[in-house]
Amino acid sequence: MTELPEIEHYRRQLGEWILDRPIERVLLVNERSTDVTPEEFAGALEGRTLLFLERRGTFLIFHLDNGHRLLIALAKDGALYCGDGEEQPPFNAQAEIGFGEKTLYIAGKASVLRLMTVRGLDEVVKTLGPDPFSRQLTPELFVTQLKKRRGALRSLLTGQKLVAGIGPRYADEIAFEAGLLPSVKVQDLNGESAARLYEAIENVLGAAIEAGGSLQTPLYAGDTVTGGYLSQCKVYEREGEACTEEGAKVEKMDVSGKKAYYCPQCQYEQTPVFS
Ligand SMILES: [Zn+2]
């Protein structure tokens, strides 16, 4: 599943291949991935150039040279591949966008590609909480916002309102890093725990971006970077495996109907204070 680190990794990697080059070919394989006809979709993109790549939460946003935007929201099974010449992606592409020698392939049956005006895009992104890496989201603001919330930590982290871009994998890894059980009620967290939670969000997501995220699908031929964080994940989908810190085994719990992975020895009701 693509969460913030996977999309940010894509954003950083793709820039050098697809910016400032005219879009020459557009093929929409899955007509349901957008809200216009394949012809209208191709017509709106062909001949245009991308000036900038932006990420908001898990949305990848292409800034076109006519002021419009192309929003890409990858589905759970979504991925991107950037190929040279005739090179084919390791998946069935839902859409292809060709930039000279490079072709960007988009996977995921339910992935969404939407041409938007700036105003239309604003309507979509304003429903998201702050980006974990926005300068506005200071530790103080985070703690203030957290105090207004109620509910299980796991649900709050994946809810996109407190911060945008976190899904099941990083929610579990963040809770582990903060030393907090996924089931703790955020309204019960003390100041120390709230501060540690903020740090854990920044640290886990930052490390995951640097390591290339957790998607196993390569982004280009010979790619050894993408998915580099998979081996660093401590708890997510590691039930029964020894916790890397203490030797205790990772367990699974149900939080509001969702599976959460955690270590019963390293995670508490409040973040542990070491003297
Ligand atoms: Zn542990």
Question: What are the residues whose beta carbons fall under 8 Å from the beta carbon of 27, sequence distance 6 or more?
Answer: 38, 42, 95, 96
Domain with 217 in it: what CATH number? 1.10.8.50
Residue 227 included in any domain: yes
Q: Own/partner pairs for 137-145, CB < 8 Å, 24+ apart?
A: 137/163, 139/195, 139/198, 139/199, 142/194, 142/197, 142/198, 142/201, 143/191, 143/194, 143/195, 143/198
- 146 plus 117 within the same structural domain: no
Q: 12-27: per-residue pLDDT in tens? A: 999 999 999 999 999 9
Q: Does 15 share its domain with 112?
A: yes
> Which of these three, 81, 96, 125, is where a domain ends?
125
Domain match, 60 and 153 both? no
Structural domain count, the chain: 2
Calculate how far, in angstroms, residue 119's C-alpha sits from the geometric centre of ligand 1: 47
- Together in a domain, 105 and 178: no
User: For residue 250, how far is its CA from the centre of ligand 1 (angstroms)?
Assistant: 7
145 lies in some domain: yes
Average pLDDT, the chain: 95
Question: Please, which pLDDT band fits residue 230 given cuts at 50, 70 and 90?
Answer: very high
The whole-number pLDDT of residue 271 equals 83
Alpha carbons 97 and 76: distance in angstroms, whole number: 21
CA of 233 to the centre of ligand 1 (A): 13
95 with 154, same domain?
Answer: no
> Does the pLDDT at position 245 exceed 90?
no
252 CA → ligand 1 middle, Å: 13
CATH number at 82 reads 3.20.190.10
Residues with CB under 5 Å of ion ligand 1 are: 243, 245-246, 248, 263, 265-266
Residue range(s) defining the domain that contains residue 244? 139-262
User: Residue 90: inside a domain, yes or no?
Assistant: yes
In a domain, 242, yes or no: yes
pLDDT tens-digit map of 173-202: 999 999 999 999 999 999 999 999 999 999
Residue ending a domain, choose from 125, 157, 182:
125
Residue 197 alpha carbon to ligand 1 centre in Å: 17
